[in-house]
């Protein structure tokens, strides 16, 4: 079925679906590493790109393709490239778009390893990186050099919840001939569509909202145009960062409920944020849906909802945060985010532990910052759990 002009929730369920000879309602798992050619000529034609047909699962597979087309349609992109993890998506993109002597400007607050791999690994191949607070556009302009190739932003940023203006970044990218890449993990295409705002590439850790059930890791890249798609797919396949067919099947199942899951989680998040904001033991809170968020207006203009992620600090600093994390029972003390369950964690010592102390400070990842991913449980229970934990401080 052509779902291009259907609504978002219809696309979630039907985009990318396969019509097979048995009338399968779900996309089957093509758990095969390789595919038979019809003839020697067909094999040669597949390799030469002259004939359609799958070759080898690292390069492509029907179950994986169904997911890639589903997410590409949700993001209004050309096509998708599914990867073994979100980091597989990020490194495939870096590998395709950066080279010795080139430079990338990145949000300072990004998922720790997305920054760490540039600082510790790509730097060994003479790739330069500058990390700036991209919520202030002037910082980006100042950081651009003649050898800058990529502008990489995460909005809202993990874990500071800063918002970066995607349209303004797109203008800067066009003026300076840069590829604008947006990590859309915190929003998912349900709440934000970076390609519609001028981005060239969107990245997701599908481990998070897109799959939503804390049972697989995975990633995806969606490009606006075919040329970038081919370039990044080549890097992904050569580096072997491909997703597995069973993983793709799981994500196809998870994504069907993305709309209702996020709608419910963000309703809960708004209520939780409102309670925390006025709680005596809470020093500060950053949730894009609260008017005291420094980029509340920007969040309202580029996101269609405020999401389920927030960060906050307690009056007793890290020691108080530790007490809270040790005294909640419904919220799981665990990294990851975007699942049906509420998760709480401490970025400075957990997800962003690999970022240098100086880097953390510059990015605003303070020692007292606690990150909360609000799930779809009954909100009264989430609030009660947090309030009970706060009482122990
Ligand atoms: N992008 C963002 C915004 C992320 O939050 C993560 C993982 C990744 C990319 C990488 O994806 P992965 O390879 O894990 O699928 N973020 C995590 C977090 O905040 N806690 O645990 C993982």
Smallest CA-to-CA distance from 371 within 349, 393, 352, 343 is with 343
Predicted pLDDT of residue 1: 82
Distance 117 CA to ligand 1 centre (A): 13
Are 379 and 350 within 8 A, CB to CB?
Answer: no
Predicted pLDDT of residue 253: 98
356 falls in which pLDDT band (50, 70, 90)? confident
- Is 111 one of the annotated active-site residues of the chain? yes
354 falls in which pLDDT band (50, 70, 90)? confident
pTM over 0.85: yes
Smallest CA-to-CA distance from 339 within 274, 241, 250, 277 is with 250
In the numeric block, the tokens 């330069």 are attached to: 128
Contacts (Cβ under 8 Å, ≥6 apart) of 165? 135, 137, 298, 302
Predicted pLDDT of residue 295: 97
Q: Which CATH number fits domain 258-391: 3.40.50.11540, 3.40.50.300, 3.40.50.450, 3.90.1150.10?
A: 3.90.1150.10
Mind listing the pLDDT tens digit for each residue in 188-217?
999 999 999 999 999 999 999 999 999 999
Q: Cβ < 6 Å from ligand 1: which residues?
A: 85-87, 111, 114, 154, 158, 183, 185, 205, 207, 217, 219, 335-337, 351
Q: Which atom of ligand 1 is nearest to the CA of 347?
A: 19
Q: What mean pLDDT value characterizes the chain?
A: 97
CA pair distance 336, 218, nearest whole angstrom:
12
Q: Does residue 240 surpass a pLDDT of 90?
A: yes
Smallest CA-to-CA distance from 29 within 193, 252, 216 is with 252
Q: Does residue 159 surpass a pLDDT of 90?
A: yes
Predicted pLDDT of residue 70: 98
**CB neighbours (10 Å) of residue 30?**
19
Mean pLDDT across 87-113: 97
Distance 86 CA to ligand 1 centre (A): 6
The domain limits of the chain are 8-255, 258-391
78 falls in which pLDDT band (50, 70, 90)? very high
- Is 208 one of the annotated active-site residues of the chain? yes
β-sheet bridge partners, residue 44: none
Smallest CA-to-CA distance from 309 within 345, 350, 278 is with 345
Q: Does residue 246 surpass a pLDDT of 90?
A: yes
Q: Which atom of ligand 1 is nearest to the CA of 88?
A: 13
Q: Which atom of ligand 1 is nearest to the CA of 158?
A: 3
Q: Which CATH number fits domain 8-255: 3.30.160.620, 3.40.640.10, 1.10.357.10, 3.30.70.260?
A: 3.40.640.10
CA distances from 319 to 47, 328, 364, 381 (A): 59, 15, 18, 24
Convert 49-75 to b/e letters by CB count within 10 Å (16 or more is b): eeeeebeebbbbbbbbbbbbbbbbbbb
Are 234 and 209 within 8 A, CB to CB?
Answer: no
In the numeric block, the tokens 């994500």 are attached to: 251
Tokens at residue 346, please? 């401490």
355 falls in which pLDDT band (50, 70, 90)? confident
CA pair distance 303, 301, nearest whole angstrom:
6
Mind listing the pLDDT tens digit for each residue in 312-346?
999 999 999 999 999 999 999 999 999 999 999 99
């Amino acid at each position: 079925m052509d779902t291009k002009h259907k609504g978002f929730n219809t696309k979630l369920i039907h985009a990318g679906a396969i019509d097979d000879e048995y009338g399968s309602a779900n996309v089957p798992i093509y758990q095969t590493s390789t595919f038979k050619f019809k003839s020697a000529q067909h094999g040669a034609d597949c390799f030469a790109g002259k004939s359609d047909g799958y070759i080898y699962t690292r390069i492509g597979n029907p179950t994986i393709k169904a997911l890639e087309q589903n997410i590409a349609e949700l993001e209004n992109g050309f096509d998708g490239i599914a990867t073994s993890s979100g980091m597989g998506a990020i490194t495939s993109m870096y590998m395709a778009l950066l080279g010795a002597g080139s430079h990338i400007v990145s949000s300072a607050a990004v998922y720790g390893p997305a920054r760490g791999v540039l600082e510790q690994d790509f730097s060994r191949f003479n790739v330069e990186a500058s990390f700036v607070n991209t919520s202030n556009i002037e910082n980006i302009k100042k950081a651009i050099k003649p050898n800058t190739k990529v502008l990489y932003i995460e909005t809202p940023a993990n874990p500071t919840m800063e918002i970066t203006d995607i349209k303004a970044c797109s203008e800067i990218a066009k003026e300076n001939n840069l590829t604008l890449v947006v990590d859309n993990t915190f929003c998912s295409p349900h709440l934000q569509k970076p390609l519609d705002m001028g981005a060239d590439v969107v990245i997701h850790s599908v481990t998070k909202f897109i799959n939503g059930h804390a049972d697989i890791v995975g990633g995806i890249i969606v490009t606006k145009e075919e040329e970038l798609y081919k370039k990044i797919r080549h890097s992904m396949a050569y580096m072997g960062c491909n997703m597995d067919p069973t993983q793709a099947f799981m994500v196809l199942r998870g994504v069907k409920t993305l709309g209702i899951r996020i709608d419910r989680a963000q309703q809960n998040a708004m209520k939780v944020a409102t309670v925390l904001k006025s709680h005596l033991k809470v020093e500060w809170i950053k949730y894009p849906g609260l008017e005291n968020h420094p980029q509340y207006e920007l969040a309202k203009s580029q996101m269609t909802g405020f999401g389920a992620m927030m960060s906050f600090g307690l009056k007793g600093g890290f020691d108080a945060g530790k007490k809270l994390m040790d005294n909640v029972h419904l919220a799981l003390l665990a990294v990851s985010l975007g699942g049906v369950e509420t998760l709480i964690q401490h970025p400075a010592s957990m997800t962003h532990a690999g970022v240098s102390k100086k880097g953390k400070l510059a990015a605003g990842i303070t020692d007292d910052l606690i990150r909360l991913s609000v799930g779809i449980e009954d909100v009264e229970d989430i609030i009660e759990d947090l309030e009970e934990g706060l009482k122990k401080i």
